[in-house]
Structure 1
Amino acid sequence: MDSPEYVRDPHAFFTRLRFHSPVAQAVGPGGLKLWVVSGYDEARLALADPRLSKNVDVARRSILANINRKADVMAFAVDLVSHMLNSDPPDHTRLRSLVNKAFTVRASEKLRPAVESITRKLLDDMAAHTETDLLHAFAHPLPMAVLCELLGVPLPDRERFDHWLGARMSNDPQRIAAAAPALLGYLRELVDHKRRAPADDLLSRLVQAQSADGRLSPEELVATTFLLLVAGHETTVHLIAAGMATLLLHPEQLARLQRDRGLLPGAVEELLRYEGPVKTATLRFTTEPVELAGTRIPPNSPVAIALTSANRDDKQFDAADTLDITRPTAGHLAFGHGIHYCVGAPLARLEAHVAFTGLLDRYPDMQLLCAPGDLVWQPGMFRGLASLPIRLRPPGH
């Protein structure tokens, strides 16, 4: 699952896997043998099964260390695993309850003016160019700026955040290892600053919740902040960039959306289903034998649930390999399912709606500057482009 062929086209790999068995063993990054759940029904069951644990204990960290292969990166990661994505109830319930209120639909709507303002600024900056890389000029900085607003990162520090998040997205172990200690140190400083001088932002509220009744340890506070940064930034970057690329590769669907912007909410859901930003959910581990689709998974086994595969399962979605922005997409698993359903889904949808609206309004003649086969996809759990070269307007326009 880390071959160049898989990185370029995971859908072909998962189609073959679903055909032979929706639950099967495979070899993951670093040579790790794991169980892959690729069918929709099986994935939905697995995502909600409490016997598939998310708790990262010392033994499981050793497995993750084998995947990463970089001791320095892993040492950094161990400091940042105490968050809700790596926990089961009751810890998960406690951690998630502190974050939930910031990511309701209503709370996310309060951020709309800021998202729209950031979007306009980025679109204005792009106007100076006929050609650009949409990922780096727009899709990367938009969610970064939104997260900085949400967390209350001071303006002078945001350039450093951009550098760290860029290193994280590079998938370059050396860059990540170099940036990791500085990011960890800064997050600790930022938490301490919010404790001394709280403001009207999410991080201040998390710090105050910890101070009020001890529900959040210092390690959990820093780890939760890190989780919000990584999960809230990288996934939205890829949703915007891969989503726009997908529309450009399907001009008839793009034309329908241009004619009727009322289709946009459904189009975003279809883009999430068709080319969602997460290929496989973070690893789970069986606490006892688990049977799925007639296959017995032994205890203490790592399990990868392939969201991108489940969303292309013809048993759930008719002609699943076809993009149709008007199709019913209810039940897609791009944001997961069960207690670990993505807490930031309302904000991600808001950012996508604002981003696509701005791009289509300002640059209706946008074109892809490379052949579809020349698009470079990044390795790892995310389904994300390395770049998206585009022409904003026709030559001489």
Structure 2
Amino acid sequence: MTQAPETETTQRDYPALLREFDLFNPAHEEWKYDAFAYAREHCPIVRTEAGTGFWLITRYEDMRRILEDHQTFSSVQGSPAPTPVRLGPLDADPPVHTGLRKLLNPVFSKTFSLRFEDEMRANCRMLIDSFIDNGRVEILGEFAGPFVSRTLARMVFDEDDQDKMAAAIHVTDAVTEEGTPEAFFNLAMLSAAYLAAALENPPEREGVLRALVTGEIDGKPVPEEEALGSLNVIFLGGLDTTRSSIGNIVMQMAMHPELEQRVRNPRWVRSDMDEFIRQQAPVCTFARNVTRDVEVGGIRMKEGDRVLIRFDSANRDDKKFPNGSQLQFEPPRGGNAGFGLGIHRCLGAHLARVQIAIAFDELLARVTNFRLECAPEDIVWKPGIANAPDRIPVTFDKVC
């Protein structure tokens, strides 16, 4: 199924569907965008009893208000589903959140990310070499996934031993290729082992591990639980999101061939990339916990309630982005929440942009004319926090 543009319809009982909406139910992917469009028009904050029960936030302005008020809407234990580990700055409030971001922001800046540009480009070329003669590729599993996982493994673990680096890449590749509990467990164990080694012998080079084991929050070392949580967030937040963004852009070019020329223009990274990300937000949703009785959009929320912020719905709110379900490049549309808003704006946003730009620079140097191997309605979208299809099989022509 595809995530088609929202259309007003009377064929479904959207109020009833919204009351049972479950972000982890695959069947709900079929109608969620239509249901959110209905909600934005008729009931922008609606209660769903799925999981622990949430207030669904579907409009842009309500989303912005919540994201910019961390005192009332806490991120502590903010994951929509229980997690066995902390998630670093993502599930923390100030001052812990502020301290972690201060330590990690420098090693996720555009300047720092570009230190790895040559290696990123080499990885892209190697991956393209593996499928260029086939005339087809499953863009997520054969290109975007391994490219992103290898970049993160290199940046985070910064391993000089090539055999150990290859083993680390193998573990991170498995997360994107398999997505099994065992693969995520192995990645968590790998992160824990590297963190323990770094605590015993801090790395000399600037990087993620050095920042976490030598940095301080309020004059104290970063708690090991928070440091490990930060590593988990970097991988869990960075793998699926950038991977899916690359895949989504390829899919749009396959369905709308005229878009290839826009992406070939070096200036596309200035605003066109943002429009692709707005229309298919790489992160669908995350949760907040209400810390005091409050009213939002005419709805009374009580202390202890949970809200589910739908970035994918807010990014298509026609009141903020006219004709919001469609790509519209002119004039540029700023302010989207594809990488979040407020203090929890995505830590890896600069890195993601660099990766996406490099991926298409290398890809389009060698291939052209993407075409979907299946009907658009046969693309299956995975449920959950990330906004990603299961597979995107495409054919292409070589650049002469």
Q: TM-score range by the shorter chain?
A: 0.7 to 0.9
Aligned to 1:254: 260
Deviations 1:11-47 (A, max 9, x none): 222111111222111234xx43210111011111111
Question: 2:64 aligned to 33, 38, 44, which one?
Answer: 44
Matched, 1:288 2:289: no
Q: Does 1:300 align with 2:293?
A: no
Q: Give the Cα separation in 2 of the matches to 1:314 and 1:383.
A: 20
> Does the 8 Å contact 1:288/1:299 carry over to 2?
yes
Q: Look up the match of 1:156.
A: 163
Q: Does 1:311 align with 2:311?
A: no
The code of the aligned residue for 2:69 comes to: D
Match of 2:214 in 1: 208
Contact 2:76 2:93 in 1 (8 A): yes
How far does the alpha carbon of each residue in 1:148-190 deviate from its partner, in whole angstroms, 9 at most, with x for none?
1211253434555456546655796xx31x3444333322211
Tell me if the contact between 2:176 and 2:239 (Cα under 8 Å) persists in the aligned partners. Answer: no
What's the counterpart of residue 76 of structure 2? 55
Q: Give the number of the structure whose residues are more often helix, by fraction.
A: 1
Amino acid at match of 1:118: N
| SS in structure 1 at match of 2:229 | helix
Q: 1:159 to 1:392 in 2, by over 3 A?
A: farther
Aligned to 1:382: 386
Q: Is the 8 A contact 1:18 1:39 kept in 2?
A: yes
Task: Describe the superposition over 1:292-350 as per-residue Cα deviations: whole angstroms up to 9, x where unpaired.
Answer: 11111121011111101111011011211221233422100011111111111111011
Structure 2 counterpart of 1:235, from 237, 241, 255: 241
Q: Deviations over 1:272-294 (max 9, x none)?
A: 000121111x2110001121111
User: 8 Å contact 1:278–1:382 — kept in the other structure?
Assistant: yes
Change in 2 beyond 3 A, CA 1:369/1:157: farther
- Which residue is 2:377 aligned to? 373
What is the rounded CA distance, in whole Å, between the counterparts of 2:209 and 2:328 in structure 1?
39
> Please, which of 120, 123, 126 is the counterpart of residue 128 of structure 2?
123
Question: Is 1:268 the equivalent of 2:273?
Answer: yes
Is 1:13 paired with 2:18? no
Match of 2:52 in 1: 32
Letter in 1 for 2:121: E
Secondary structure of the corresponding residue to residue 237 of structure 1: helix
Question: Which structure dedicates a bigger proportion of its chain to strand?
Answer: 2
Partners of 1:137 and 1:23 in 2: CA distance: 39
Name the SS for the 2:394 alignment partner: strand
Match of 1:23 among 38, 45, 50: 45
Distance 2:262 2:208 in 1: 38
TM-score normalized with structure 1 length: 0.86
Residue 219 of structure 1 aligns with which residue? Answer: 225
Q: CA separation of 1:134/1:228 partners in 2, compared to 1, >3 Å: closer, same or farther?
A: same
Which aligned pairs between 1:77-96 and structure 2 lie closer than 5 A?
Answer: 77-78=83-84, 80-81=85-86, 83-96=88-101
2:370–2:396 CA contact under 8 A, matched in 1: yes
Contact 1:335/1:342, CA 8 A, preserved across alignment: yes
Report SS of the residue matched to 1:284: strand
Q: Which residue of 2 aligns with 1:72?
A: none
Q: Point out where structure 2 has 5 or more consecutive residues left out of the alignment.
A: 1-20
Tell me, in whole angstroms, the C-alpha distance in 2 between the residues paired with 1:168 and 1:356.
23
Residue of structure 1 in register with 2:325 after alignment: 321
On the 8 A contact 2:26/2:382 being kept in 1, the answer is no
**Pair 319,64 (structure 1): closer, same or farther in 2 beyond 3 Å:** closer
How far residue 256 of structure 1 moved from its aligned partner, in angstroms, is 4.1
Q: Secondary structure of the equivalent of 1:110?
A: helix
Q: Residues 251, 324 of structure 1: CA spacing in aligned structure 2 closer, same or farther, 3 A cutoff?
A: farther
Q: Secondary structure at the match of 1:305?
A: strand
C-alpha separation between the residues in 1 aligned to 2:165 and 2:380? Answer: 28
In the alignment of these two chains, the number of paired residues is: 372
Judging changes above 3 Å, is the alpha-carbon distance between structure 1 residues 381 and 181 closer, same or farther for their aligned structure 2 residues?
closer
Q: Which residue of structure 2 lines up, in the alignment, with residue 342 of structure 1?
A: 346
Separation in 1, partners of 2:146, 2:113: 18
